[in-house]
Amino acid sequence: EAGVVQSPRYKIIEKKQPVAFWCNPISGHNTLYWYLQNLGQGPELLIRYENEEAVDDSQLPKDRFSAERLKGVDSTLKIQPAELGDSAVYLCASSKDRGLTEQYFGPGTRLTVT
């Protein structure tokens, strides 16, 4: 079974530029999560999807961040414009449902904003 796939693995951009991250969850997993992990800290949830519906986006900074999950499979997280403080690792995870089933994490995208 293929795991959660994320791309790119690394991205370096200048501040004020846009950036996008892509996630392909495990086949059959209805719930998809985007987490932000700052250096030396645990991941924090940005947004959670159940199929194509964003059911929890309370932690997503909506002035510059956006996300979509068209057709309830792949998902894209976008930042526009990026700020220096956005430098972090962006993790995608998926699970069969929103219950206590295991969340499977991708390797993450490490973003550096200069």
Partner 1 sequence: AQSVTQLDSHVSVSEGTPVLLRCNYSSSYSPSLFWYVQHPNKGLQLLLKYTSAATLVKGINGFEAEFKKSETSFHLTKPSAHMSDAAEYFCVVSDVVGSSNTGKLIFGQGTTLQVKP
- Taking the complex as a whole, the smallest distance from the CB of residue 7 to partner 1 amounts, in Å, to 13
Among 11, 64, 78, 98, indicate the residue that binds partner 1 (CB under 8 A): 98
Considering beta carbons, is residue 56 or 74 the nearer one to partner 1? 56
Among 20, 22, 56, 74, indicate the residue that binds partner 1 (CB under 8 A): 56
Number of residues this chain uses to bind partner 1 (CB under 8 A): 25
Considering beta carbons, is residue 81 or 96 the nearer one to partner 1? 96
| Number of neighbours of residue 114 by Cβ within 10 angstroms | 10
- Taking the complex as a whole, the smallest distance from the CB of residue 113 to partner 1 amounts, in Å, to 20
Please tell me the distance from the alpha carbon of residue 7 to that of residue 106, in angstroms, as a whole number.
10
Q: Following DSSP, what letter does each residue of 43-91 receive, concatenated?
A: -EEEEEEETTEEEE-TTS-TTTEEEE-GGGS-EEEEESS--GGG-EEEE
DSSP label at residue 19: E
- Find the Cα–Cα–Cα–Cα dihedral 81, 8, 4, 103, rounded to 10°: -40
Based on the shown chain and the rule CB under 8 A, indicate whether residue 54 belongs to the binding site for partner 1: no
Q: Which residues bind partner 1 (CB under 8 A)?
A: 3-4, 31, 40-45, 48, 56, 91, 93, 95, 97-100, 102-108
